[in-house]
Amino acid sequence: MNQHNQLQSELKVLRQEMKHKFNRHVSIQDLLSDRWETAQFYGFGEGTSCYNNVLIIGDVKVGKNTWIGPNVILDGSGGLEIGDHVSISAGVQIYTHDTVEWSTSLGKAEIQRQPTQLGDGVYVGPNSVIQMGTTVGDKAIIGAMSFVNKDIPAAGKWLGTRLSRVP
């Protein structure tokens, strides 16, 4: 059996195991890696799971028993802290920097960085974006495809797009 056929055969076994264990299909890289080992490699809390295709930048701290879904961006270049028992759904983007001033000044201004924090028990719906410098309180709910550019209080709900005026 050549290498290509052998690899296909092994992937078929891994796909069957994934379907049987979790009733899902994932990318090849997630078949070959373990989500809990990935989280452990990055120093995330015990019981936390992080898909292999998550983009992790800079200083990202994650608590215990947190689920980080596929295709997520965790930008810790300005400091990102995520609590315990947080669900970060597929496609979520959490930022701690932006290049607006840098870009519009043609590189004369510095890149802006501010820490971002999610408390314990937070739910972040699919494809949401959390802007730099925001704090999301414990047990807050962020609905699918929301844009968060203001602090969310504990147990608060943020659904959809809410824009604020920029001075």
- The domain spans of the chain are 1-32, 34-158
> What confidence tier does 159 reach under pLDDT thresholds 50, 70, 90?
confident
> What confidence tier does 164 reach under pLDDT thresholds 50, 70, 90?
very low
> What confidence tier does 162 reach under pLDDT thresholds 50, 70, 90?
low
> What confidence tier does 161 reach under pLDDT thresholds 50, 70, 90?
low
Task: Tell me how crowded residue 1 is: count the other CB atoms within 10 A of its CB.
Answer: 8
Q: For the domain 34-158, what is the CATH code?
A: 2.160.10.10
On whether the CB atoms of residues 77 and 58 are closer than 8 A, the answer is yes
Give the model's pLDDT for residue 69. Answer: 96
Give the model's pLDDT for residue 102. Answer: 97
User: In angstroms, rounded to a whole number, what is the distance separating the alpha carbons of residues 86 and 141?
Assistant: 10
Per DSSP, the three-state class of 128 is coil
Extract the tokens encoding 81: 């802290």
Model pLDDT for residues 1-12, shown as the tens digit of each residue: 699 899 899 999
Model pLDDT for residues 99-110, shown as the tens digit of each residue: 999 999 999 999
